[in-house]
Amino acid sequence: MREHVEELDKLKQSVLAGPDAAATQRQYDKGKLTAYERIDLLLDPGSFQEIEALRRHRATGFGLEHRRHHTDGVVTGWGTVEGRTVFVFAQDFRILGGALGEAHAQKIHKVMDLALAAGAPLVGLYDGAGARIQEGVTALAGFGGIFARNTKASGVIPQISVILGPCAGGAAYSPALTDFVFMIRETAQIFITGPDVVAAVTGERVTMNELGGADIHSRTSGVTHLTYDDEPSCLHDVRHLLSMLPANNRQHPPTVVCTDPPDRRNESLYDLVPLDGNRPYDVRAVIEEIVDDHEIFEVHEQWAANVVCAFARLDGHVVGVVANQPNMLAGVLDIAASE
């Protein structure tokens, strides 16, 4: 019995280490962390419970029968963020480029179903090359199952997508269906098809970041809500956002003990808001003056800057803030601001 336990322990350790050291080093060379390291940053220490760590694909042909790595390129399970249950899946680019096949998709389907049944938030950490073309239609059907679950969970549980690497082809649709999208500059991209196909069809040459980088999606398309320069600060803010959201549509957001007196006077407002209606001012300063501890969590900061949308707390209770921004286009409502 001890031999079997030791064998299983070695197998689990090999799963945590990944396919090989060279693949892990290539991940580090690109400025990216591994799937397990990302989960460790997202969840409370020691809280992660992995499911189907030993799952492998059953496909043959194109050499896939010789590349049957455990986890099949995605780590799934649940843990806690500040003591509250959160479900998570994290694609592992070291294994088949994080591409989605049948087993990979079924693992994501399972964790999405569990999140919906438990009434808990779902966080997807994306770092994959889209559909695993060697598996053909079964890979595409896997994406269909993810999209169907995205729409079923919409408005029921919070869904957060964190783009930490390439997110191409079918993988680009699911994040856009979720509630919040976080992205990393330079290393992360979202696009339906890559620069080579764009060049072949239109003759236009674009880089990956010009086509689907974080700045494009945060400033032009509005797909991305928040952008960051590194993964630790991004995942820290994912935790912060989760602390301000209800677990599901039947619960209230968590409250905290307020150390900022709710009845304090806001004398600074005399100077922040000018009497002259033609003079611009920064409405963020007004919001920060009013809310607890002068702290706001703004989304879409770079897109449609003529309106400010943010989360904050008043007397320890979470509130949403929508404010015209006089500093940008006099705070008018245009199409992007209205969206």
* Ordered domains of the chain (ranges, CATH): 2-242 (3.90.226.10), 269-338 (no CATH)
Q: What is the pLDDT of residue 312?
A: 97
Q: What is the pLDDT of residue 22?
A: 86
**pLDDT lower than 50: segments of the chain:** none
Give the angle 59-21-91 at the CA atoms, nearest 5°: 50
Number of helices and strands in the chain (H, E): 13, 11
Judged on CB neighbours under 10 Å (0-12, 13-18, 19+), 285 is middle
Residue 240: closest CA among 84, 111, 119: 84
Q: What is the pLDDT of residue 134?
A: 82
Q: What is the pLDDT of residue 23?
A: 85
Give the angle 128-133-139 at the CA atoms, nearest 5°: 75
- Answer yes or no: are the C-beta atoms of 128 and 91 closer than 8 Å: yes
DSSP 217: I
How much is the pTM?
Answer: 0.92
CA 245 vs CA 5, 175, 231, 240: distances in Å: 41, 18, 21, 9
According to DSSP, the β-strands at 180-184 and 297-299 are unpaired
Q: What is the pLDDT of residue 198?
A: 87
